[in-house]
């Protein structure tokens, strides 16, 4: 098997040439499809727009982004290990849309729409307009199913990877090299949203190099092109690194971005949690069934654009499983390739006016959307009630800050509290897996915070992670000694309690 044919295992003959793609991203006749996808996207995701507790991690990104607008420096003043670009993106959203959660959630809906439109564009090479539109809708549905429904990092970096795919898939394009260089720059930006995008960026680069080799590019030029790809891909991270070095924060930056990741302990479930395997199985099953259907649609061999999607899926699995612990939203990395691979399941016969089977996934999901609106309404109401109960007991000017040991990070912003620590994410204070991956000992930082006599402490009855009991016992003892229950609300199946300090 020739190395020039990386997918020969999928067919009995040479890779078939890709079907001629549309000459531009969208034709005028596609605008109706874009409008339909926009309405569908905002209807599906609208349930969570304005919900400050729609998901967990995004609340931290929002807090840091808002604080950046007031001069805070990520990794120095407020700590996390995500790349600087993610926080800068949230800062931009809040600069435009205000401090509330709707700012990044509307942006997330627009990014998701962009991903859906690009999936539609990619699908047009293998199917008719209506079935391709169903592929875009399937992208939206799978995002919601895989916890990319509000504003976590996958919402923003995955559409960038889809843009890379749209630029590099057609290796016969007359401007293929320039398009590939642009794709690598976009990939570099995606790495500043989440570093685990690396496997997919590498795949797109290798696919573009393979395409040029097939077209006869000499080895020395391929080597230079590969170096150019590397430069473009590393440029955004290099610029951020240089900025931190120039500001004198090199050590803090390197530890947060490149060292702490390896110091964090894996969860006991690791990469093979049964629930995660179930969600993975949904996408892999859709993809496998699509591949089997594709073999019936193209009995003479799978076309190159379809092989591209298969290999893309493999790199996406590597992205999802790169960390030692896998969460459901990590599996969102598989969504674009899954949507493309599944389309042959809904193959439309030439005689059919409407492809009804292609509408089934979206139609079935729409049945549960009203329930999601109700759940989100209850959730946001409970979060706002907690904030209203807490806010009168705080005094930012006097340094009387809220302490959230376990609970929604968004309560800091909703109560306009000052921040008691740079480890502002509750998980970084209570999670035993983080014990050796921070700049300080959790129990020492909790002791320091408690010594400031925080007027309100927020806790939860059910932990999300293994607990550092040396830190938790200090909080429990302080609450038993000096605090009384102020308010309690159920949020995401946990009882979140706010404890107010007793007056002496």
Domain boundary pick from 367, 393, 418:
367
**Residue 402 in contact with residue 459, Cβ under 8 Å?**
no
Whether residue 430 sits in one domain with residue 335? no
Whether residue 360 sits in one domain with residue 401? no
Domain count within the chain: 2
Q: Is residue 4, in this structure, part of any structural domain at all?
A: no
Tens digits of per-residue pLDDT, 402-448? 999 999 999 999 999 999 999 999 999 999 999 999 999 999 999 99
Q: Is residue 471, in this structure, part of any structural domain at all?
A: yes
Whether residue 453 sits in one domain with residue 351? no
Q: What is the pLDDT of residue 324?
A: 86
Whether residue 450 sits in one domain with residue 467? yes
d(CA 297, CA 303): 10
Q: Is residue 3, in this structure, part of any structural domain at all?
A: no
Q: What is the pLDDT of residue 14?
A: 40
Tokens 């949507």 found at: 339
Across the range 383-399, mean pLDDT stands at: 97
Across the range 76-82, mean pLDDT stands at: 98
Task: Judge whether residue 22 has pLDDT over 60.
Answer: no
Across the range 295-311, mean pLDDT stands at: 96
What does the DSSP 8-state code read for residue 390? H
Output the CA–CA distances (angstroms, integers) from residue 328 to 95, 113, 185, 277, in the order listed: 30, 21, 28, 9
> Please, which pLDDT band fits residue 271 given cuts at 50, 70 and 90?
confident
Q: Is residue 191, in this structure, part of any structural domain at all?
A: yes
Q: What is the pLDDT of residue 273?
A: 82
**Model confidence, pTM:** 0.93
Quote the percentage of the chain above a pLDDT of 90.
86
Tens digits of per-residue pLDDT, 436-481? 999 999 999 999 999 999 999 999 999 999 999 999 999 999 999 9
Q: How is the chain split among helix, strand and coil, in percent rounded to 5?
A: 65, 5, 30
d(CA 152, CA 425): 15
Tens digits of per-residue pLDDT, 186-243? 999 999 999 999 999 999 999 999 999 999 999 999 999 999 999 999 999 999 999 9
Q: Is residue 2, in this structure, part of any structural domain at all?
A: no
**Residue 339 in contact with residue 283, Cβ under 8 Å?**
no
User: What is the distance between the terminal CA atoms of the chain, rounded to a whole angstrom?
Assistant: 81
Average pLDDT, the chain: 93
Tens digits of per-residue pLDDT, 328-342? 999 999 999 999 999
């Amino acid at each position: 098997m020739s190395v020039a044919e990386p997918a020969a295992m999928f067919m009995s003959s040479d890779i078939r040439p890709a079907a001629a793609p549309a000459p531009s991203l969208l034709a005028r006749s596609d605008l109706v499809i874009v409008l339909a996808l926009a309405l569908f996207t905002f209807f599906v995701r609208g349930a969570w727009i304005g919900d400050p507790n729609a998901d967990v991690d995004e609340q931290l990104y929002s807090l840091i982004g808002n604080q950046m607008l007031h001069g805070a420096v990520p990794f120095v003043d407020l700590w996390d290990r995500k790349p600087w670009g993610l926080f800068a993106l949230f800062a931009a959203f809040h600069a435009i849309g205000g401090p509330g959660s709707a700012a990044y959630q509307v942006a997330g809906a627009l990014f998701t729409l962009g991903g859906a439109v690009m999936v539609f564009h990619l699908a047009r090479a293998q199917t008719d307009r209506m079935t391709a539109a169903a592929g875009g809708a399937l992208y939206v549905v799978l995002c919601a199913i895989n916890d990319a429904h509000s504003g976590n990092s996958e919402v923003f970096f995955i559409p960038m990877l889809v843009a890379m795919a749209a630029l590099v898939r057609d290796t016969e394009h007359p401007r293929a090299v320039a398009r590939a260089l642009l794709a690598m720059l976009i990939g570099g930006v995606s790495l500043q949203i989440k570093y685990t995008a690396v496997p997919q960026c590498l795949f797109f680069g290798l696919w573009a190099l393979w395409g040029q080799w097939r077209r006869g590019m000499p080895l020395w030029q391929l080597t230079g092109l590969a170096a150019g790809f590397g430069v473009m891909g590393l440029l955004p991270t290099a610029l951020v690194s240089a900025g931190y070095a120039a500001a004198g924060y090199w050590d803090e930056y390197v530890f947060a971005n490149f060292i702490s990741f390896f110091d964090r302990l894996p969860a006991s479930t690791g990469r093979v949690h049964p629930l995660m395997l179930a969600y993975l199985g949904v996408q892999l099953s859709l993809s496998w069934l699509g591949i089997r259907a594709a073999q019936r649609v193209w009995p003479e061999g799978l076309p190159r654009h379809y092989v591209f999607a298969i290999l893309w899926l493999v790199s996406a699995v590597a992205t999802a499983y790169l960390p030692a612990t896998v969460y459901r939203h990590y599996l969102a990395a598989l969504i674009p390739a899954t949507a493309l691979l599944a389309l042959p399941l809904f193959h439309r016969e030439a005689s059919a006016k409407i492809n009804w089977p292609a509408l089934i996934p979206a139609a079935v999901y729409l049945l549960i959307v009203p329930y999601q609106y109700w759940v989100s309404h209850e959730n946001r109401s409970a979060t706002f009630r907690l904030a209203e109960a807490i806010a009168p007991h705080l005094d930012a000017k006097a340094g009387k800050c809220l302490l959230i040991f376990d609970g929604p990070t968004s309560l800091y912003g909703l109560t306009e509290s000052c921040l008691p620590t740079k480890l502002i994410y509750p998980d970084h204070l209570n999670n035993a897996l983080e014990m050796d991956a921070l700049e300080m000992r959790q129990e020492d930082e909790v002791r320091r915070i408690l010594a400031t006599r925080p007027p309100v402490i927020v806790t939860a009855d059910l932990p999300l992670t293994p607990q550092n009991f040396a830190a938790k016992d200090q909080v429990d003892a302080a609450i038993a000694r000096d605090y009384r229950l102020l308010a309690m609300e159920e949020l995401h199946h946990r009882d979140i309690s706010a404890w107010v300090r007793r007056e002496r």
